[in-house]
Structure 1
Amino acid sequence: MKACLLVVVALVLFSSLGESKRRFSRFKDVSTRRVKSRDQTIPTPDEFFFANLVDHYSFVHPTQTYQMRYLVTDAYYLGKGYPIFFYAGNEGDIYSFYNNTGFMFTLASEFGALVVFAEHRYYGESLPFGNQSYTKENIGYLTSEQAMADYAVFISDYKAQKPELSESKVVVFGGSYGGMLASWLRMRYPNVFVGALAASAPIWQFEGQMPRGGEQFSEVATRDFLLSGPECPTGIRAGFEEIMIQAGRGQPGLDLLTEQFMLCSPLQSDQVYDLVSFLENGYVYMAMTDYPSASNFLQPMPAWPVDVSCQYWLHKKPTSPEELFTAMRLSVGVYYNYTGEAGSCFDINEDISSNLGDQAWNYQACTEMIMPVQTNGKTDMFLPAPWIYSDYVTYCQETFDVTPRPGWTDISFWGHQISAASNIIFSNGMLDPWRPGGVTYNISSSVTAIIIQHGAHHLDLRTPLPSDPLSVQMARSQETEIIRSWLE
């Protein structure tokens, strides 16, 4: 979702041509870069702002507030006593989440619920200090704890101001990072939220919490392509390796890369890893959003985009660098330019340039959201890029003047010790690269894991369609009945 998460900045170190270069592979949910056209089955919301505290955990400036944006639709609301379905906004413009969470409206229709979406502080229009929100002096109020306090205070006040809602139970929803927030909101504020549906929520993707030797993000992404045919990840891996060979040839190799990948500007020697990151991100985002129907979620893509991408590799054995790069350009183009509307060349800086939303998430990834992603080039289809924590710390100190606290999530968000929690659904798709960091087994009778065999990143939250696999239809049915039990 920008969904989507989920979202993460992974610092990796590449060595090539006798020197090292840092690069960021932003395997994160990026749909909130832009607000996509809305599903016509989703009702148009009313937009409001709520004066929330800038700092919920200090009494030094008790009156300092900011305007938090939220959206409401009462299209399905049946009146007093009926529930509130609340979406915990994640890293981006709240309309992107509203427009891509159609299952909430299906549920609202069934349960007569009021639907509310709240925007995460420091994203969209919910900027505590306006265009000065990202300065060193002001960005320190950007934490998940502050955001969750925003939501708990807001929904409590909202109910208090509307007598007909005073007894309404609140179910919190979220996908990716929003799903993490949803689960944590139920843990931290069980008096406010009766239950949580946390879709594709990698709450165990943190430093020190991932099991050693377990399946990795990059391996799941690779397996998604492998399911379309072994030639696909084999060809992609060979393409990445050939890029580095050509980069080692100097200017002739750079010229060849510029020509074969149809880049908008000549590739420079210090941009080779930008090209690699651009290509990696395209393949990873296709794996994350490998949906069974055409979508406009991250980019306009066809149904089952991984299968479409792999058609350029199947039953073909490229025998030259030119043939390798042509197949790679066409296959990754399924993500970047499937409709042809993006133009006749690739701008590799477009995907990796920072915007305000990226800057905010990068800061969060340097403080609380330390979520390692690495590649090895053997069990995955990417170039080797190990997770090196010391380099990550250096980047965070140089960029934001902060030092990560990798153990904080264990303390603040319970780590693996969540058996005391209740009324949480953790759903994960087998096709989703974030699945290894999620809760994939039942913790208790009321903290339930649902595995969706043919599901990508929080597919279950999207608008139900006839083309949906049986596995996601069954997951939604199970989620519906669990939510029903919370509301009885």
Structure 2
Amino acid sequence: MTNPRALIPLMILILALDLGSGTRLGGRRRRGGGLLSPPRRPEGTELPEDQWFLQRLDHFNPTDGRTWKQVGMRGTLEDASVENLAYLSSEQALADLATFTVAMQEELGLKENKWIAFGGSYPGSLAAWYRLKYPHLVHGSVATSAPVVAQINFKEYLEVVRDALATVNDKCDEAVKEATRQLNMLLLHRVGWQSITKRFKLCSPLDGQNKKDVANLFSILTENLEDVVQYNRDNRDFEGVKGTNITIDTLCDIMLDESRGPAITRYAAINSLVLEVHEEECLDHTYDSMIKELKATNWENNTDIGGRSWIYQTCTEFGFYQSSDSLNQPFGNEFPVNFFIQQCQDIYGEKFNLDLLKEGVKRTNTLYGGKDLKVTRVVFPNGSIDPWHALGITDNLSPDATAIFINGTAHCANMYPQAADDPPQLLHAREQVFNHIQKWLEE
């Protein structure tokens, strides 16, 4: 038998981050951006000193010798101007990884070691694409909850949310649909606007004639349910994430409790619960406020700068817009895909339009192949109630590029620490991932 110590690889850990934005590849659009709080550490321990790695600014321009310090612990000091964001792309990120890998191989004498890439969410996509583009540097990849298809109008997202609600009770979806209908009825007159302002604890009076504000409000209220579905029962408590005790069952218990009053009142109760969890006194629903925050370029004292960075990539590479354009969902039709395209222009400038995004999405799928990935030694875990699985790999691509479809689990569930009440299928999925890695290391 091979000495197991000889099989220990140096692992590239690509952290799954909650990037605050309207695209919700892990985040919410509320003030604060929804970025994860730093993981809690045991009392009496200190964080190690920051470690920096000198990267080229542009890996694809040999005449540009500029560099930047890539931090190993906490973040970057660069501002997020459009000029700087031009270097923010999946291609540059993969080249960063390759440069780092080669440097560590040489500096630490690790050329013979087998590297394994781990990633969840967008970093899961990077993990798969790293193996695709740099197979000589990374021996295998675990690409969890990885959307590998760039798609402008991701209307399937809300369809999966609808299906997830139905796993608790078929009537839950109908209750949300009725609440949306009642909300639309109140939009027809000024007295209704006042009622919405009061019921949903808006920070300022709703102007029902302001289409952008209305769209933003509907989108945020939808996010109240989306976020819970996407992370349902994920073991994120260790990271200090708020609201992990709110589950799909919680939402449906509220929506089906007729003693609370009409459906819109129950819908408002969910909003009040989310406000309470996030320690917010009111809901800032205005479009201009959201855009103002996302236009800020300074990292200091800006809680949604991660949102600005991530939305930039959606406007230039991926799309991923969870619009209300599907008829098979209960959240109405107030935030179509054009609502998100307009945000690109309002945040970054007029040239960030639909034509630019179409070219970007086409380029992304050309670069990586969409679901037709030609890779080996990659495993793709996905949860059945994670809406992102609709853009991921849920069937085996080949005997050496396999899918693990985990029934009843949500976004990146297999990457979080084990809990006593984890379902058997999740435990089995983690075991499968381990077995894949063990097999790869023997090859």
2:402 corresponding residue in structure 1: 448
2:95 corresponding residue in structure 1: 149
Question: What is the TM-score normalised by the length of structure 2?
Answer: 0.81
Deviation at 1:280, TM superposition (A): 0.9
| Offset from partner CA, 1:73-119 (integer Å, 9 cap, x none) | xxxxxxxxxxxxxxxxxxxxx6xxxxxxxxxxxxxxxxxxxxxxxxx
| Offset from partner CA, 1:166-214 (integer Å, 9 cap, x none) | 3221111111101000100010011111111000001125259x8xxxx
- 1:257 to 1:279, Cα distance in 2 relative to 1, 3 A: same
> Which structure is higher in helix share?
2
**Aligned pairs (5 A) from 1:80-479:** 125-127=75-77, 130-131=78-79, 133-135=80-82, 137-163=83-109, 165-207=110-152, 216-250=156-190, 252-269=191-208, 270=210, 271-291=213-233, 295=237, 299-303=241-245, 305-316=247-258, 323-338=262-277, 342-348=279-285, 353-354=293-294, 355-376=304-325, 378-384=327-333, 396=344, 399-400=348-349, 401-402=351-352, 403-404=356-357, 405=359, 406-418=361-373, 420-479=374-433
Count of equivalent residues: 401
Moved more, 396-405 or 300-309: 396-405
- 1:324 to 1:2, Cα distance in 2 relative to 1, 3 A: farther
Moved more, 143-152 or 40-49: 40-49
| Offset from partner CA, 1:234-281 (integer Å, 9 cap, x none) | 12222222222212112x111111111122332233222222121111
1:65 and 2:67 correspond: yes
Deviation at 1:302, TM superposition (A): 4.0
| Offset from partner CA, 1:376-412 (integer Å, 9 cap, x none) | 46421111258657x7666645633241212112221
Q: Secondary structure of 1:222's match?
A: helix
- 1:394 to 1:262, Cα distance in 2 relative to 1, 3 A: closer
Aligned AA (1:422): T
- 1:335 to 1:447, Cα distance in 2 relative to 1, 3 A: farther
CA–CA distance in structure 2, aligned partners of residues 302 and 180 of structure 1: 25
CA–CA distance in structure 2, aligned partners of residues 150 and 318 of structure 1: 53
Tell me if the contact between 1:286 and 1:335 (Cα under 8 Å) persists in the aligned partners. no
CA–CA distance in structure 1, aligned partners of residues 364 and 244 of structure 2: 37
**Aligned pairs (5 A) from 1:30-49:** 30=27, 33-40=34-41, 46-49=49-52
| Offset from partner CA, 1:13-52 (integer Å, 9 cap, x none) | xxxxxxxxxxxx5333128744425255899555311110
CA–CA distance in structure 2, aligned partners of residues 442 and 477 of structure 1: 17
1:83 corresponding residue in structure 2: none
2:23 corresponding residue in structure 1: 26
- 1:480 to 1:334, Cα distance in 2 relative to 1, 3 A: farther
- 1:181 to 1:45, Cα distance in 2 relative to 1, 3 A: farther
Q: Secondary structure of 1:309's match?
A: helix
1:78 corresponding residue in structure 2: none
Deviation at 1:337, TM superposition (A): 2.6
CA–CA distance in structure 2, aligned partners of residues 463 and 41 of structure 1: 16
Aligned AA (2:285): I
Aligned AA (1:28): L
CA–CA distance in structure 2, aligned partners of residues 230 and 375 of structure 1: 20
Identity across aligned pairs (percent)? 25
Tell me if the contact between 2:19 and 2:26 (Cα under 8 Å) persists in the aligned partners. yes
RMSD after superposition: 3.0
Aligned AA (2:318): M
Deviation at 1:231, TM superposition (A): 2.9
1:56 corresponding residue in structure 2: 59
Tell me if the contact between 2:36 and 2:239 (Cα under 8 Å) persists in the aligned partners. no
Q: Secondary structure of 1:240's match?
A: helix
- 1:278 to 1:466, Cα distance in 2 relative to 1, 3 A: same
Aligned AA (2:186): Q
Q: Secondary structure of 1:312's match?
A: helix
Question: What is the TM-score normalised by the length of structure 1?
Answer: 0.74
1:77 corresponding residue in structure 2: none
Tell me if the contact between 1:206 and 1:371 (Cα under 8 Å) persists in the aligned partners. yes
Structure number with the bigger relative contact order (C-alpha 8 A, sep ≥ 6) is 2
- 1:294 to 1:485, Cα distance in 2 relative to 1, 3 A: closer
- 1:286 to 1:313, Cα distance in 2 relative to 1, 3 A: same
- 1:395 to 1:30, Cα distance in 2 relative to 1, 3 A: closer
Q: Secondary structure of 1:66's match?
A: strand
